[in-house]
Structure 1
Amino acid sequence: MASQPKRMGDPISLVCPTPADLESTAQLEELLREAGLYESPEESAVRAEVLRDLQGIVDRWVKQLAFQHGYQDAMVEEATALLLPFGSYRLGVHGRGSDIDALVVGPSYADRDHDFFVVLAAALAAETESVTDLQPVPGAHVPVMKMRLRGVQVDLVYASVNLAVVPRDLDLSDRSVLRGLDHVTARCLGGVRVADEILRLVPDAAAFRTALRCVKHWAKARGVYSNVSGFLGGVAWAILVARVCQLYPNAAPSMLVPRFFKVLSQWRWPAPVMLCGIEHDDEIGLPVWDGRRNPRDRTHLMPVITPAYPCMNSTYNVSQATQRIIKEQIQAGHVACQEIAGGGGGRGWSALFQPFPFFSAHKSYLQVDATVAGGEDELREWKGWVESRLRNLVAMVEWDTSGELLCHQNPQAYDAKPHGLQCTSSFFVGLSKPQQQQPPQPQAQKPQFDLRATADAFLQDVYTYRFWRPGLEVAVMHVRRKDLPTYVTQRIRSPNNHGQRKRSFDESSSSSSTSSGDDGSEKRPGGRAKLHPT
């Protein structure tokens, strides 16, 4: 097995917790329990059953494939696949209702495109009593099969290794398992390898887990937990917390959390955050993130580098807009921790987790509606695609207005009440202007921003969806705070729920319905929007 990379640098402080720090940690843990961030023994038992059931299904699937490939009976009997959870479950920070991310490691003769996404998908679909909401997503950056098994959301990825038989004790930390694999397969194996390496590199796993639960709870409350939206996902937050744990190896969680915000509020981005040194392996030859060697890597704004070979940037989706918001929220967290330490407000740790007031922070918004004609299953698929393109809309708005409009994307989706099989889910992007050092312009000279062309370009991008079909629609409109739809205001418990949303479309040139071309082929819809922010 290859030598393990060493931790980065020396710690900042070796100070141990005082009795007051331990008491504060107990208060923090109690708050996290009250927030539902620890699952009950009954829920743990259900998850264990889900993993056992899934292991049985994939074992039967591999034996079926071995038989179909003509292997002898002894080989068929020996055929198995590994099922390994990763993500929050493997790190030990999952809570009530958390998803299970799991990796299936199969033999060399079981491929992803057909055997996993067709044959295994059919086997799962046949489990009608336990499997629901089955949704293969083969075109994702990490191809995934989503489902609910016994009511638990499971995201399943697949990696085929260069072995005819996958042993139950296969050591994925040995990088030789990566030899001869393509980039996508290496990424699929990375979830397990990265989680294990993070736990190996932190000085105190228990303190790390509590601090990470706290930071994830904070990030979700402040609207900066979403890799697909260009914020930070679970892996990135875990690496950031782990780095602070390395810098303060003897600290209790109540000490680590304030230091987390202090360290990151002062971090000199784009200097990368790393838990260990970057290693290259010319024999295996997989691409590795390395800003010293790769000019493209130096363009990343907030690099947070995974610790297992081949190391990658877990924050490649971060844009100038989301970086600005992340930095603002980290600074706000730093201020909140200072006030908590000083006894201000009298609310203790709960002051850190106050939700960001997104719908009172801006006067106007872009509302992006993803609509389907075929029910909730179809909506789940379509809105996932629309959500993945929203960061492009944010970038285009800021670019097309030369930074005169700033965008703040809300990673939450808001579902309208279905009308029969027609379902709509809405996303919102808050709009604001940069703080001006000069006096404001007179009312008559306020600039107006016509974003019809920008919205057009976004819609064209969305309608490049590989699996688009009639009935999948998207619309963009400008809506002011007082005109937010009632299904949003009711969810955020706002008293302003009487207004009707106002469309700012140029109706003569906009459409979100499907039309037929002269040749009988179906054209994908388009639309325009016009924005006049105050």
Structure 2
Amino acid sequence: MAALRPSMQAISTEPPTPLHLAYTEKLNAYMEQAVPQESKDRQQKRIAILSDLTSTFKQWVHSVCLAKGLAQPVAEAAGGALFTSGSYRLGLNEVGMDIDAVCVAPRMVTRDDFFETLKVILEDHESIHNLVAIAGAAVPIITFDYGDINIDLMFAQLPVDSVPPTIDINADSALQGLDTGTQRSLNGPRVTNLIERLVPQFDAFRQLLRCIRLWAKRRGIYSNKMSYLGGINCNLLCAFLCQLYPKACASLLLERFFFILKDWNWPTPIMLTPPTDAGYTDTDGRMYEVWDSQGRGRYDQMPILTPAYPSMNSSLSVSQVSLEVMRSEMAIAHQRVVSILAAGASDWAPLYEPTDFWVAHSKYLAVEVYVQGAPAGLQQDLVRSWVGYTESQVKKLVDFLSYLPLAALRLMPRKLPLLSVGAAAAPPADSASAPPPCDGGSYLIGFDVDKTRMQGGELHMTNKVEAFRAELYDRAANQAIVTATTAPFLKVRFSVYGSWKELPEAVLDAGLGGIANAKAARKRVLEARRREAAAAEASGAGANGAPEVEAVAGASAAASASSGEGGAEAAPGSEAVPEEVVLAAERGEEAAVLAWLDGGGRADATYE
């Protein structure tokens, strides 16, 4: 392994002031209340679970070797090891945290064995439930709950006859001759181990990381698979900030985190150490590809590079749309942290206020994913595979929609209950022909209509939605999720809600804790927009400033929405838009339109 050095020089090596230390104490006190650490008993339970999984894995390796006709001494020497990675490995110990682990086996044991026979053993384990195997993923994985703790289990096959407990996977030479799945699986613990080595003050890093994880979750931008920040991205960004301020305490690091990243010049990559090419090859003799801004990396939106060889972009799924969402959230966060520090850091709650996504948009597109009518013994397995697969693909729908004249497009990375399908599936009281049972979940996309990009008065979404639907089923068929047997039961439905007031109560309950909180949040949104409009008018921007979006344009656009297979449709019973409101929208008088919307007016456009 090459000598490690930070990729950038430290901005400041000043030690923390007494004031910042006092602020950090208050910050840590808030975090202990907001995100409690697990008790010692719970931590011991995790250790016991990992010990049981390690023992199960080694016994399985031994049995696979015997089943393949290998001699008893060879089977006994085959060994096997289990390595953890991610936030658990970094010692966060938060309540409800999952565990990422990699099973490392010798050459005699294959990935097919892992997904065929070890999967069966895990399914039969009395403490394991909700098991889902995803063999076709970029990083093949078996995910399950062991008791009440979620485990993500990956597999690595090394070209050796024995895997002793002391095997060194941190050495770059350990990657020689590996298949892609194994190399990517080993990347998890290798990266985690390097983060620990590259961070100057580990306690400060861990404190900052806890703060950023909670912030990202509360603000609705925590999910790598949905194009936002995942655990690995938060780990790397926090480590990078700690390198820039190697002696700073958590309160200062938190302010610097948002200050630097809100204006970071993406796609300039963030890296902990310069990438190196160690020159090793995979199982086919091809050189491992190291991230390169002139190669495949030239299309990356937000490159956050892993420090382990071969360096890769950990945030490959980030899109231009999700990057803008995160930029906006970081700017808001920085303003709030500055205000909190200026007030003495006695109350950190404003930084962690829930996102106003649920009431901030003019329209919402719900994607309902469910299984209906499957045989009882197959239903839950199909729900887990179909919903889990679709969850990883919903971000592509946002990409499709980004070509439409929309603004403030945003995917909420939270699974919601079924919104319309469940109600529709309720059997009539006087009918014996009840519809088949359905089970699944929903995902919500908020958006406004950009008046400046509209061509005509109609917004057609059907082509984009149907293109996503077709791609969704095609990819699922390639992964054997959709087959001739399962296809009749796997459903996806799209519904557009014309305003936040039309969202089902279950959405507002999940997002903001009920309708009363939603109304209060909506009021704050409108007040903020009025202040922004007044500031823009005072500065001379007015109607000639920033592009008008649905908050203004929606009122006039909604009146002429078309329906069915052609695109968006005004919901039955929706009100006609008053002429004075349409005229106000055309003049760019945002305050008048916002007042009408807040008073119960609806800018409707629904599509199913």
User: Do both share a fold (TM > 0.5)?
Assistant: yes
TM superposition shift of 1:505: 9.8
1:427 to 443, 452, 468: 443
Note the C-alpha offset of 1:380.
Answer: 2.6
Does residue 3 (structure 1) correspond to residue 13 (structure 2)? The answer is: no
C-alpha separation in 1, matches of 2:450 and 2:9: 40
Query: Residue 456 of structure 1: CA displacement?
Result: 0.9
Structure 1 residues 252 and 405: CA distance shift in structure 2, 3 A: closer
Partner letter of residue 27 of structure 2? L
1:70 Cα offset (Å): 2.2
CA contact (8 A) 1:482 1:496 kept: no
8 A Cα contact 2:272 2:307, kept in partner: yes
Unaligned runs of 5+ in 2: 282-286, 427-435, 519-560, 571-602
- Seen in structure 2, the aligned counterparts of structure 1 residues 347 and 206 have a Cα distance that, compared at 3 Å, is closer
Q: Is the 8 A contact 2:368 2:494 kept in 1?
A: yes
- Rounded to whole Å, the distance in 1 between the matches of 2:290 and 2:102 is 22
State yes or no: 1:390 paired with 2:382. no
CA drift of 1:529 comes to 5.0
Q: Residue deviations 1:243-289, cap 9 Å, x none?
A: 11000000011111101111112211110001001101234321111
| Bigger proportion of residues as helix | 2
| 2:515 equivalent among 470, 495, 499 | 495
Q: Which one of 451, 463, 471 corresponds to residue 461 of structure 1?
A: 471
Structure-1 residue corresponding to 2:192 = 195
Which of 226, 231, 240 is equivalent to 1:229? 226
**Is contact 1:198–1:242 with CA below 8 Å preserved after alignment?**
yes
Give the match's secondary structure for 1:477.
strand
Give the deviation of 1:73 after TM superposition: 1.8
| 2:354 match | 355
Residues 86 and 102 in structure 1, CA contact (< 8 A), matched pair in contact too: yes
Question: Would you say how many aligned residue pairs link Structure 1 and Structure 2?
Answer: 496
Question: Structure 1 residues 297 and 347, CA, compared in 2 at 3 Å: closer, same or farther?
Answer: same
Q: In the alignment, what sits opposite 1:476? A: 494
State the one-letter code of the partner of 2:315: T
1:531 to 1:330, Cα distance in 2 relative to 1, 3 A = farther
Q: Secondary structure at the match of 1:116?
A: helix
Q: Deviations over 1:137-162 (max 9, x none)?
A: 11111110011112211110000011
One of 285, 288, 298 as aligned partner of 1:286? 288
Query: 2:460 — aligned with what?
Result: 450
Distance 1:447 1:271 in 2: 39
Query: What is the alpha-carbon root mean square deviation over aligned residues?
Result: 2.3
* Pair 1:102-2:101 in alignment: yes
CA distance in 1, matches of 2:264, 2:36: 28
State the alpha-carbon separation in 2 of the partners of residues 54 and 458 from structure 1: 39
Map of 1:414 onto structure 2: 416
Q: 2:312 and 2:36 mapped to 1: Cα distance? A: 28
Once the two structures are superposed, what CA deviation does each residue of 1:460-482 show, in whole Å capped at 9, x if it has no partner?
Answer: 11212121122110011211212
Distance 1:379 1:37, change over 3 A: farther
8 Å contact kept, 1:302–1:323: yes
- State the alpha-carbon separation in 2 of the partners of residues 416 and 257 from structure 1: 37
Shift in Å, 1:433:
3.7
AA aligned to 1:455 is V
- After TM superposition, give the deviation of residue 62 of structure 1 in Å: 0.4
1:372-400 deviation line (CA, Å, top 9, x unaligned): 1244443232222222221111111111x
Q: CA contact under 8 A between 2:368 and 2:418: conserved in structure 1?
A: no
| Distance in 2 of aligned mates of 1:475 and 1:3 | 51
TM-aligned CA deviation for residue 497 of structure 1: 12
What's the CA shift string for 1:340-383, capped at 9, x where partnerless?
12118x86222111111111111211111101124444323222
| Deviation of 1:406 (Å) | 4.0
| Matched residue SS, 1:154 | strand
Aligned letter for 1:38?
A: Q
Alignment of 1:17-416 (within 5 A): 17-112=16-111, 114-127=112-125, 129-284=126-281, 285-292=287-294, 294=295, 296-343=296-343, 348-373=347-372, 374=374, 375-399=379-403, 401=404, 403-416=405-418
Contact 2:172 2:278 (8 Å CA) reproduced: no
- The alpha-carbon distance between structure 1 residues 474 and 154, as it changes in their structure 2 partners (threshold 3 A), is same
Which residue identity is paired with 1:121? Answer: K
Amino acid at match of 1:185: T
Percentage of pairs with the same residue: 32
* Further displaced range: 32-41 or 257-266: 32-41
Distance of 1:107 and 1:233 partners within structure 2:
30
Q: Is the 2:459–2:567 contact (alpha carbons within 8 Å) kept by the matching residues of 1?
A: no
- Return the alpha-carbon distance in structure 1 between the equivalents of residues 233 and 76 of structure 2: 41
SS of 1:23 mapped into structure 2: helix
**Is the CA contact 2:43–2:93 (under 8 Å) kept in the aligned structure 1?**
no
CA distance in 2, matches of 1:309, 1:462: 33
Maintained 8 Å contact 1:6/1:276: yes
Letter in 1 for 2:118: L
Task: Name the stretch that deviates more: 421-430 or 214-223.
Answer: 421-430
For 2:39 and 2:129, locate their aligned partners in 1 and report how far apart those are by CA, in whole Å: 23
Alpha-carbon displacement from aligned partner over 1:186-245 (angstroms, at most 9, x marks no partner): 101000000001111010111101101100110111111111111121111111111110
